[in-house]
Amino acid sequence: MAGDKSFFDEMFDEAGVPRHPFRSYHRWFADQEPAKLLKKAAEAEDLFRKTGITFAVYGQEDAEERLIPFDIVPRIISASEWTRLSRGIEQRVRAINAFLHDIYHRQEIVRAGRLPEHMVSRNTAFLDRMIGFTPPGGVYSHIIGVDLVRTGPDEFYALEDNARTPSGVSYMLENRETMMSMFPELFSQIKIRQVSDYPKRLRRSLSASAPRKCEGDPVLAVLTPGSFNSAYFEHAFLADQMGAELVEGHDLQIVDGRVAMRTTQGYRPVDVIYRRLDDDYLDPLTFRPDSVLGVPGIMDIYMAGGVTIANAPGSGIADDKAIYSYIPDIVRFYMGEEPLLRNVPTWRCSEPDSLAYVLDNLSELVVKEVHGSGGYGMLVGPAASKRELAAFAAKLKQRPENYIAQPTLALSTVPILTKKGLAPRHVDLRPFVLVSPDRVEITPGGLTRVALKKGSLVVNSSQGGGTKDSWVLED
Amino acid sequence: MTTLGKTAGGLFWMFRYLERSENLARLIEAGLRISLTRGGAAGEEWRSIITTAGLGAAYEETGGDYAAPQVVNFLLRDRSHGCSVLCMIENARDNGRVVRTAITREVWEATNECCIMARRMLARPVREADLPDILAAIRRHSALVRGALHGTMLRNDIYNFARLGTFLERADNSARILDVKYYLLLPSIAHVGSLMDNNQWETVLRSLSALHSFRWLNPGDPKPIDIARFLILDGRFPRSIIFCIRKMHENLHWLEREYGDRLVSQDLARQVLDQIEQASIERIFEGGLHEFLQTFMIGNRQLAEQIERDYRFTG
């Protein structure tokens, strides 16, 4: 049952023997009737549909909401693996927040010659408006989702730092609920670390960054672009679970120097806004004037200490794919330590030598848009046809600064349940990190995304990926 | 927690749509009964059902005749006019999504399942043989949403907004059905004590799920005036006009107590209620049943608009 030898399989070693973290699970699995398990898998889908955990796929007219496929075989991480990983994540997240503070203040990293000046000044994610301003509690990126991939027993890479508005945490929580209701016996047999207090922690973490003008218990709101947004389910889910209001731009207005929401009894101030809206749409007076999703004047109130916006506007510069290649230096510069998580070697196509290399080796590389996300607009060289490669090369030459390239990583696999039994598929992992003025908290586990198509390396749900429950074992 | 104006409006509309879908399903059920028992009179009945639903012009446009399969599919699943049972249920769910944080998981899931059921059962044109099952499923799923609401929701402002939507829509529906059929009741007034065509009055009562209750209270041969009194003024019947307006008055009263603020809508509801409580069926017939119902429906609509303003549903 061992997977393809050229990829690291997390469940089975080369001899087909279950690896340590999967042993108890595998014993249980071996006792199950395959037909019954397949039936359970179908039940899981019904559960998700009933709960309404759906997303809309952009660009599809018949916008029936879709389910993200769920695989019932968990991804299991040992306690010691998790300890190492979480140290690396915390280091990276602290460095990112320090970096954001620095580039909006003295820009020491540029002065020290460790980051070229144009990487900041010419970056569209850099907001002039934030220069010299320190957000409440000094936190820029409150909620971060660091995408990790694994290539070997001890080889973890940070692939992306989602420092703007990472999504997927509702799937992490619902996947666990579903597993617990379908296989309660597993959870009594195996000691698995809990994830269900995430909403409570999120509430505490956001409250800890309340603005100066907040009086009493902070009033929290989740700002959503609306019920037609692909991640609306998650926005409603989080608001519900943490006891926050779920607001849209038109529910908010500036009243007496505060951001206030229209309630049945008039306008009431909001202290902390967890926005699930890009910077561009936040304030039509400051950014896109055509935005109807944001709140006119909210930036002024923010600057005057009337409201906290999480994540802070301008945080996006830290997860920019061109900045990504500098993260190891950023960690060294602010933390005075060697980075614990590896960075994937990255060619910045804006540099002529790199561009030439990328064009010569296109069929072996993964090329991404600097500001892209969701797997859109990227090229996976080894999987692309000659025609696709040629078309992409043309795009690259036209706007090289828009792209970065990375080697195709040999992503680890975890089996999924298919009609023919277990079959290895490539996975990544997005742990969710909460940053408040006094602490960094990482929920044990995170969201495992899995490419359901055999051999595919693209795990994004918009590209046919699914998810798995992710277990971190207790010691 | 405070309640957003948008949320209050979303709840109000969610339950209006649910009530409306259920009422329309009940009308279809009554029509189906007629076409099964009295084939000849069915065309007229379908026509009046379409009028009650306010879809006369839209149906004429389709060029369909007033026969069961066309009318039933038009009312159940046609998306072109936006008022079919399927559209209503989808609208209710969309509103449910908007107010997801204000309702319990049980209420949301019951609503979502209602919609999943409707989309599945109404995906293709409905065959006559399947109709009873479909109508039963709609009734059952509406009951599940209502049950979840009763069993799991806090009795606070949120609950009152949901109930206001239900009773506003229900009162309007009862008034409409009576208004469309008022001519059935009228001729017989001239000859007090005369009997109505049995099937006709049965349909009126059936379309309001009132047949059993009415018979319980009036075991003898039904008189038109008793039917009208029952549907307008009997406070024991949960779809009578007086029952609905009393409930709305009560819900608004709870809002007044919770918010500590008396608003225009509370006075308006009091006025509408006073008019009905002081009325007798004889005086209503004297002044004209149609006129009475029209006045009531206008007042009901104004009340809805006032509630929307008072509680800042939109701005």
SS3 for chain A is CCCCCCCCECCECCCCCECHHHHHHHHHHHHCCHHHHHHHHHHHHHHHHHHCCEECCCCCCCCCCEECCEEEEEEEECHHHHHHHHHHHHHHHHHHHHHHHHHCCCCHHHHCCCCCHHHHHCCCCCCHHHCCCCCHHHCCCCEEEEEEEEEECCEEEEEEEECCCCCCHHHHHHHHHHHHHHCHHHHHHCCECCCCCHHHHHHHHHHCCCCCCCCCCCCEEEECCCCCCCCHHHHHHHHHHHCCEEECHHHEEEECCEEEEEECCEEEECCEEEECCCHHHHCCCCCCCCCCCCCCCHHHHHHCCCCEEECCCCHHHHHCHHHHCCHHHHHHHHHCCCCCCEECCCEECCCHHHHHHHHHCHHHEEEEECCCCCCCCCEEHHHCCHHHHHHHHHHHHHCHHHEEEEECCCCCEEEEEECCEEEEEEEEEECEEEEECCEEEECCCCEEEEECCCCCCCCCHHHCEEEEEEEEECC
Query: Shortest Cα distance from B112 to chain A (angstroms)?
Result: 6
Q: A248: which chain B residues are within 8 Å (Cβ-Cβ)? A: 6
Place of tokens 């408040």: A436
Domain spans in chain B, listed from the N-terminal domain onward: 1-153, 155-315
User: In this complex, which of A236, A250, A264 lies closest to B100 when CB atoms are compared?
Assistant: A236
Q: B145-152 long-range contacts, Cβ below 8 Å, gap at least 24?
A: B145/B18, B145/B107, B145/B110, B145/B111, B145/B114, B147/B110, B148/B104, B148/B106, B148/B107, B148/B109, B148/B110, B149/B103, B149/B107, B151/B106, B152/B104, B152/B106, B152/B107
User: What is the rounded CA–CA span in Å between residue B172 and residue B167?
Assistant: 8
Predicted pLDDT at B39: 67
Predicted pLDDT at A60: 47
Predicted pLDDT at A29: 97
Query: Shortest Cα distance from A51 to chain B (angstroms)?
Result: 6
Instruction: Give the pLDDT mean for B101-119.
Output: 96
Predicted pLDDT at A449: 96
Predicted pLDDT at B185: 67
If one compares A459 and B135, the residue with the highest pLDDT of the two is B135
Pick the residue from chain B with its C-alpha nearest to A64. Answer: B119
CB atoms A251 and B4 under 8 Å: yes
Predicted pLDDT at B182: 77
Mean pLDDT by 10 residues, chain A (475 residues): 71 96 97 94 88 65 70 97 96 98 97 94 91 97 96 93 92 95 95 97 97 95 92 93 95 96 96 95 88 92 97 94 92 97 93 94 91 73 90 92 91 95 96 96 96 87 87 94
Question: Does B288 have pLDDT greater than 70?
Answer: yes
* SS3 label, residue B220: coil
**Percentage of chain B with pLDDT > 70?**
94
Query: Which residues neighbour A117 within 8 Å (Cβ) at sequence distance 6 or greater?
Result: A110
Predicted pLDDT at A375: 64
Q: A359-363 long-range contacts, Cβ below 8 Å, gap at least 24?
A: A359/A393, A359/A396, A359/A397, A362/A389, A362/A392, A362/A393, A362/A396, A363/A389
Predicted pLDDT at B72: 94
CB atoms B97 and A52 under 8 Å: yes
CB atoms A227 and B97 under 8 Å: yes
If one compares A472 and B194, the residue with the highest pLDDT of the two is A472
Predicted pLDDT at A157: 96
How does the average pLDDT of chain B come out, rounded? 91
Q: What is the pLDDT of residues B218-257, one digit of tens each?
A: 988 778 888 999 999 999 999 999 999 999 999 999 999 9
Predicted pLDDT at B210: 94
The answer to whether B108 faces chain A, any CB pair under 8 Å, is yes
Mutate: best of B86, B100, B111, partner A, most A CBs <10 A: B100
User: In this complex, which of B2, B6, B105 lies closest to A268 when CB atoms are compared?
Assistant: B2
CB atoms B6 and A239 under 8 Å: no
Pick the residue from chain B with its C-alpha nearest to A237. Answer: B101
**Phi and psi dihedrals of A377, rounded to 5?**
65, 20
Q: What is the pLDDT of residues B8-17, one digit of tens each?
A: 999 999 999 9
User: In this complex, which of B94, B161, B311 lies closest to A227 when CB atoms are compared?
Assistant: B94
Sorted by where each starts, the structural domains of chain A and their CATH numbers stand as 20-211+307-341+409-472 (no CATH), 212-306 (3.40.50.11290), 345-407 (3.30.1490.270)
